[in-house]
Chains A and B, each alone.
Chain A
């Protein structure tokens, strides 16, 4: 079975632009979470979705938004990009919202 897949692998944007990152969970997994990992640090929680509803939001500005689709895939959107948004964005899926999370390879976002 395929694991969590994320696209694109790498992305380069400039300040002020917007970006959409995509995630497909493991088949059968209903919960998707998004994390931001700045170089040299642990991942920080951004959002969690379960059955297309937002279950939790981390301490991130409103420029960050997400959604989950009927097939449980998810998108993370970031508007008005800042240099500080440069990071590895990780998506994780789990069977239920309180089950172990399995991560994708991440999307490396670089802001110039």
Chain B
């Protein structure tokens, strides 16, 4: 079974600064997907960024980028130029890549990020 661990319950960052959120996971699979989701107080879970395990290049989406270390099973999210709207809970999630099989998301416990003005 896969597990996802987010050991930091809370973080705070000054507006315009950079912050890194940590995530580790455990799996015996070789091919899989990793995600970061954002959940603001409005509660909708929003996909921030996606990484395929077979790709060595780290994914980037505007101000969001990841540091994917497959051997270490580490998947951190870096938010550059933090904005007040980035205040939310952030969840790291794992999904296996078997086509046609159950592709559930396994989530970590999440981290509450607060951006200070």
Q: How many of B's residues come within 8 Å of A, CB to CB? A: 29
> Shortest distance in angstroms between B14's beta carbon and chain A's nearest beta carbon?
25
Q: How many of A's residues come within 8 Å of B, CB to CB? A: 27
- What CA separation (Å) do A98 and B4 show in the bound complex? 18
| Residues of chain B contacted by A100 (CB below 8 angstroms) | 33, 35, 47, 50
Taking a contact as CB atoms under 8 Å apart, the answer to whether A90 and B104 are in contact is: no
Given A100-B50, A105-B44, A43-B107 contact (CB < 8 Å): yes
| Residues of chain B contacted by A103 (CB below 8 angstroms) | 37, 44-46
> Shortest distance in angstroms between A90's beta carbon and chain B's nearest beta carbon?
6
Taking a contact as CB atoms under 8 Å apart, the answer to whether A56 and B104 are in contact is: yes
Taking a contact as CB atoms under 8 Å apart, the answer to whether A48 and B103 are in contact is: yes
Taking a contact as CB atoms under 8 Å apart, the answer to whether A45 and B43 are in contact is: no
Closest to A45 in B: B104
List the interface of chain B (C-beta within 8 A of A): 4, 33, 35, 37, 42-47, 50, 91, 93, 95-110
